[in-house]
Structure 1
Amino acid sequence: MTSPSRSIHVVAAVITDARGRILLNRRTGDSDMAGLWEFPGGKREPGETSEQALIRELREELGIEAEVGEWVMDVPQIYPDKRLRLEVRRVQHWKGTARGREGQAITWVAPDKLSRYSMPPADLPVVAALRQPGQYLITPEPTDGDEAWLASIEAAIAGGIRRVQLRTPMAAQRQALAKAVVERFGKQVEVLVNRDIALASELGVGVHLGSEQVLQLQARPLPESLLVAASCHDLAQLQAAQRLGCDFAVLGPVQPTASHPGVAGLGWDAFVELREQVSLPIYAIGGMGAGDVETARRHGALGVAAIRALWPSC
């Protein structure tokens, strides 16, 4: 893709009311991507801070005086005519009554209903960051025995892990351990099995596709009610994962890792160049740990995926 020469910095707000609903604006007929819903905000002008820009935009768009809260994430996104950096901030306190002052429709949406609204590509990773876990645990092989392995998963869940990929090499062991995880922890954590579509379907859990599977499949292998993820290393794989309707992808390695000796990491600049060409939610993998979630979100990632750094020793 040819890189657009125009770059803009947009600041948007996740505005939540007392019921936890989130406010969306609908783009009007004279704007780009008219009819799509988005998080309200606008372009940061020269000389403005992000806070000043967002306060001004929300005053102009919605007629409210906002108190800008914590940062959520940055999303780099390429459009045909521009390279966009979308900076997202929370707004939980404001004065006035929100209304569409520029003729636009507005609506308050429960977080679990956000995916029903058609949105621009840059807004989609924000929805993922609001609804999906920032950490994705990939299990190591159960070298210390099945019970010790299951105990470590229990400890990871107790520590806040809410999404787990079960990766064991032997089919019989994979099936038995996956069944044990679903029976013990299925109500506490989202479970995906590595590569095995048939097993995922049998157990009613998600599947994490290998990079070669992503390129080979012609359609989403599981229904919308079950998660489908993919390992990706380049743009072709990311685009294939997006076409399949994957719920998220894992991209890397960002940094060199012990599990892939001799493989140079992408680095964050290359990660961003890939990330900005798709709207798919993406975890960064490779040298990542729990403390890297904010750094990952500064570069447009949903969060981090890891084996050793997220695996508790019991």
Structure 2
Amino acid sequence: MPLRVVEVVAGVIRDARGRVLLARRTEGRDLAGLWEFPGGKREPGESAEEALARELHEELGIEVEIGPALITVPQRYPDKRLRLDVRVITAWRGNAHGREGQALVWVPPGKLPTYSMPPADRPVVAALLQPPHYLVTPMPDGGDASWLASLEAALASGVRRVQLRAPGVEPQRWRSLVACAVHLCRQAGAEVLVNADVALAREFCIGVHLPAALLHSLDGRPLPTAIPVGASCHTAEDLHAAEALGCDFAVLGNLRPTPSHPGRAGIGWDGFAALREGVSLPIYAIGGLAPEDLDGARQCGAQGIAAIRGLWPAV
């Protein structure tokens, strides 16, 4: 039998200090004891905004002004398929308290990952804290100086997560380019990972991005938890392996046909959402995407978009 689909709305509520409100699921409910963003089920005939305003009044005793969508997370549970529609609350009035006996806590944003949450809520935390764009560098075919200039321009445009990737470049040249790129990224406050080379990542104290083949060959996380580990995924098996390994995020695609994958049809947004709902990792969509695809990506549960050409400026 097909699993029932449950539409849920939730709000990101901040206080004057910028802390985020979490509510604890009460005894007798599914996933009791876990912390979640406040909200509840959308009733038939309700808009998402109407449902969220009603739920937050019933649960917390507050009146709210609902702002932009943050992310919609499709998540599969053993007994249902959930669609969690999360909105930013731009203003609220009243004294927030647990009207249904639930505990509440105001959490500094950086502490949100330390709270135990249902699987659907974890990508919401990532959407609040992690970069929406993930740049994958192209080959330095135009010369090293031009490549570094384009990287610097990408960082100036706001890119804050970068994967350094240039297969086939001579090792000494690549090490020199990585050293320069790491310096630029750190100056800009951007997170940087290197593709596949765990030893090089350890040498420069940067993250590593694991190709799917390497992902399946490892029996443990290759770097400490404080250093990022990402993974390239194409199948549900890849995603489950990335989650089991303790990767911080994954990249899933290709969404559309691309020159780098000739003859491979894209999975499309429906295919992306169907794979996304099986894990609780933050997942970037990749494959023929550009910054203007971000809103559509978030509506399918993506952390954001990853790209080479779409995020790499010509200089």
TM-score by length of 1: 0.98
Equivalent residue number for residue 253 of structure 1: 254
Partner letter of residue 103 of structure 1?
G
CA distance, structure 2, for counterparts of residue 45 and residue 230 of structure 1 = 38
Equivalent residue number for residue 124 of structure 1: 122
CA distance, structure 1, for counterparts of residue 39 and residue 255 of structure 2 = 31
Equivalent residue number for residue 11 of structure 1: 9
Q: CA deviation at 1:26?
A: 0.4
Give the paired residue count: 312
Equivalent residue number for residue 289 of structure 1: 290
1:164 to 150, 162, 165: 162
Partner SS state of residue 121, structure 2: helix
Verify: 1:106 aligned to 2:104, yes or no. Answer: yes
CA distance, structure 1, for counterparts of residue 185 and residue 217 of structure 2 = 32
CA distance, structure 2, for counterparts of residue 172 and residue 43 of structure 1 = 56
1:42 to 29, 40, 43: 40
Verify: 1:58 aligned to 2:59, yes or no. Answer: no
Superimposed CA distance per residue, residues 53-96 of structure 1 (whole angstroms, 9 cap, x where no aligned partner): 11111111111111111111110000011111000001131111
Equivalent residue number for residue 233 of structure 2: 232
**Percentage of matched positions with identical amino acids:** 60
Partner SS state of residue 147, structure 2: helix
Partner SS state of residue 59, structure 2: helix
Correspondence 1:130-279 to 2 at 5 A: 130-169=128-167, 170=169, 171-188=171-188, 189-279=190-280
Q: CA deviation at 1:5?
A: 2.3
Q: CA deviation at 1:4?
A: 4.4
Q: Which runs of 5+ in 1 are unaligned?
A: none
Partner SS state of residue 287, structure 1: coil
Q: CA deviation at 1:204?
A: 0.5
Superimposed CA distance per residue, residues 181-238 of structure 1 (whole angstroms, 9 cap, x where no aligned partner): 1223314211100000010011010000010111111111000111000000000010
Partner SS state of residue 107, structure 1: strand
Partner letter of residue 177 of structure 1?
L
Partner SS state of residue 161, structure 1: coil
Q: Is the 8 A contact 1:63 1:96 kept in 2?
A: yes
Equivalent residue number for residue 94 of structure 2: 96
Q: CA deviation at 1:259?
A: 1.1
CA distance, structure 2, for counterparts of residue 75 and residue 185 of structure 1 = 30
Partner SS state of residue 265, structure 1: coil
Q: CA RMSD in A?
A: 1.0
CA distance, structure 2, for counterparts of residue 253 and residue 85 of structure 1 = 23
CA distance, structure 2, for counterparts of residue 44 and residue 180 of structure 1 = 51
Partner letter of residue 284 of structure 1?
A
Q: Is the 8 A contact 1:167 1:174 kept in 2?
A: no
Q: Quickly say closer, same or farther: Cα 1:121–1:158, change in 2 above 3 A.
A: same
Superimposed CA distance per residue, residues 159-193 of structure 1 (whole angstroms, 9 cap, x where no aligned partner): 11111100022322221111111223314211100
Q: Which runs of 5+ in 2 are unaligned?
A: none
Equivalent residue number for residue 72 of structure 1: 70
